């Protein structure tokens, strides 16, 4: 089932759909939801672990997409990745504002928005391939390596925060992150050369 | 940090999952234009793009689609209705001024009324000139659902017109006051207005220093106006 969704979600952007979205054509947002709603929901649900909150956040995500579509630059990344990035940011923001450890990294939160636009590098490689590569690599990771990556991606935690969460020395966490990334990078390099 | 140490951090940097000090060091290094690290960052962005696959894919409940589309539809129609009403208010005030102009030609006996109409005549001329000049720029406050709306027409001659909609209710002892908000320093007063039925069209009281104005804001003030806002502005229109 995953591959079906990924294929639907990560098929190349339809320039006409993006143009209509930028013109605030209300049918376009329905099409965008049909393509990316499932992925946005999955990410917000995984991050917040609460169905009601995930629904609220998906609404917020698509409102942002609607209000900021004019800023979307398809030469710098795909619509799907942009929406996913917004979904992740919205959900992590929510997590941070409900937890007590709020404001500490507020400045980086606005910077996160910048990183929603990738480089042309990302659009040249198929994102479908990237997701597949990450999934393939994740299958070879041990539980510790997998959980540190999940904490970084789904909760935005830093090395030291992960160390605190998992009650492990900082050096150990750094090693787990490094070895996990090496494994994923090599899987990606192989995927790209296949 | 060495290159190798930075190399380990680019994915976490791309995810914003990095200590601020480390992020600062990486950004400073990237700004120096190190080509190797620019490549590392690109690769990291590509790697993290696949990270959602670490979690499962879940079907959203079917009602969520209607909810999402419905909220955007409401936003769309309420904003456009609000603007339509605001422009009707604008047209109405121009019509009113035009009518007073006609009266101006027939009423010549009452000197105070004459003076008032003369000043309205000037105001109308400025207003029409500003709104019809192709070089006039517009700026608008971000539109949240049901929040007050503000749009500013900025004239070449440093006058501006504020058009407001969904304004909050004020009582007889209060007024709306326009503020020029500089990038640094205290807001400066730019005129009072009252509006009607939550809509208003207001021409700036005099040419203002738009060059050094970062935003135009509106707050509720005591009827005679204030020198500095005494309440939090409810509309802020950034001029960028
Ligand atoms: Zn470097």
Q: Residue-wise pLDDT tens for chain B (240 aa)?
A: 888 888 888 888 888 788 888 888 888 888 888 888 888 887 787 778 778 778 877 899 999 999 999 988 887 776 666 666 666 667 766 666 666 656 555 555 556 666 666 676 677 677 777 776 667 777 777 666 677 888 888 877 788 888 888 888 898 899 999 999 888 888 899 888 887 777 777 887 777 787 888 889 999 999 989 999 999 888 888 887
Distances (CA, A) of A55 to A52, A63, B64: 5, 13, 7
Choices 1.10.3720.10, 1.10.1740.10, 2.40.10.10, 3.30.70.890: CATH for A2-139: 1.10.1740.10
Class of domain A140-194: mainly alpha
Where along chain A do the CATH 1.10.10.10 domains lie? 140-194
Does A133 contact chain B (CB < 8 Å)? Answer: yes
Q: Ion ligand 1 — residues with CB under 5 Å?
A: B 34, 36-37
| β-bridge pairing B200-203 and B160-165 | antiparallel
Of B49, B55, B65, nearest to A130 by CB-CB distance is B49
Chain B residues at the A interface, defined by Cβ less than 8 Å, are: 8, 11-12, 14-20, 23, 42-43, 45-61, 64-65, 67-69, 71-73, 75-76, 142-143
Rg (CA), chain B: 26
- Which of A7, A49, A149, A150 to mutate to test binding with chain B, by most B CBs within 10 Å of its CB? A149
Tell me if the pTM is above 0.80: no
ipTM score assigned to the predicted complex:
0.77
Between CA A18 and CA A28 the distance in angstroms is 8
Between CA B237 and CA B240 the distance in angstroms is 9
Is B20 in contact with A108 (Cβ distance < 8 A)? yes
Which residues lie closer than 8 Å to A136 by C-beta, 6 or more apart?
Answer: A187, A191
Chain B hits for A146, CB-CB cut-off 8 Å, are: 54
Is A43 in contact with B18 (Cβ distance < 8 A)? no
pLDDT of residue A160: 92
Where along chain A do the CATH 1.10.1740.10 domains lie? 2-139
- Asked if the model's pLDDT at residue A102 lies above 50, the reply is no
Chain A hits for B67, CB-CB cut-off 8 Å, are: 55, 59
């Amino acid at each position: 089932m995953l591959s079906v969704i990924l294929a639907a979600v990560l098929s190349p952007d339809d320039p006409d759909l993006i143009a209509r979205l930028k013109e605030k054509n209300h049918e376009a947002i329905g099409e965008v939801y049909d393509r990316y709603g499932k992925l946005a929901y999955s990410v917000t649900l995984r991050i917040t672990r609460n169905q009601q909150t995930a629904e609220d956040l998906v609404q917020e995500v698509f409102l942002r997409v609607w209000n900021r579509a004019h800023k979307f630059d398809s030469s710098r990344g795909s619509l799907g990745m942009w929406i996913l990035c917004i979904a992740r940011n919205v959900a992590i923001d929510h997590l941070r504002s409900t937890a007590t450890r709020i404001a500490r990294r507020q400045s980086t939160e606005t910077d996160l928005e910048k990183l929603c636009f990738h480089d042309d590098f990302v659009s040249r490689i198929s994102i479908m391939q990237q997701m597949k590569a990450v999934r393939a690599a994740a299958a070879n990771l041990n539980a510790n390596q997998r959980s540190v990556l999940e904490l970084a991606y789904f909760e935005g935690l830093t090395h030291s925060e992960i160390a605190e969460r998992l009650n492990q020395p900082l050096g150990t966490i750094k090693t787990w992150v490094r070895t996990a990334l090496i494994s994923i990078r090599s899987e990606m390099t192989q995927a790209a050369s296949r | 940090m060495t290159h190798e140490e930075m190399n380990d951090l680019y994915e976490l940097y791309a995810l914003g999952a990095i200590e601020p000090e480390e992020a600062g060091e990486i950004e400073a290094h990237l700004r120096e234009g190190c080509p190797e690290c620019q490549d590392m960052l690109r690769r990291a962005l590509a790697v993290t793009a696949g990270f959602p696959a670490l979690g499962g894919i879940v079907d959203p409940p079917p009602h969520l689609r209607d909810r999402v589309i419905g909220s955007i539809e409401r936003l769309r129609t309420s904003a456009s209705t609000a603007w339509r009403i605001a422009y009707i208010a604008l047209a109405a005030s121009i019509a009113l001024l035009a009518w007073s102009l006609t009266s101006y030609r027939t009423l010549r006996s009452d000197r105070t009324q004459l003076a008032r109409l003369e000043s309205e005549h000037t105001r109308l001329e400025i207003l029409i000139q500003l709104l019809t000049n192709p070089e006039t720029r517009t700026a608008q406050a971000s539109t949240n659902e049901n929040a007050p709306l503000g749009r500013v027409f900025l004239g070449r001659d440093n006058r501006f017109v504020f058009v407001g909609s969904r304004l909050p209710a004020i009582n007889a002892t209060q007024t709306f006051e326009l503020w020029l908000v500089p990038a640094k320093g205290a807001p400066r007063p730019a005129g009072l207005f009252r509006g009607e039925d939550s809509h208003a069209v207001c021409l700036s009281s005099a040419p203002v220093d738009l060059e050094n104005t970062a935003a135009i804001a509106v707050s509720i003030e005591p009827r005679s106006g204030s020198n500095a806002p005494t309440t939090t502005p409810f509309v802020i229109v950034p001029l960028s």
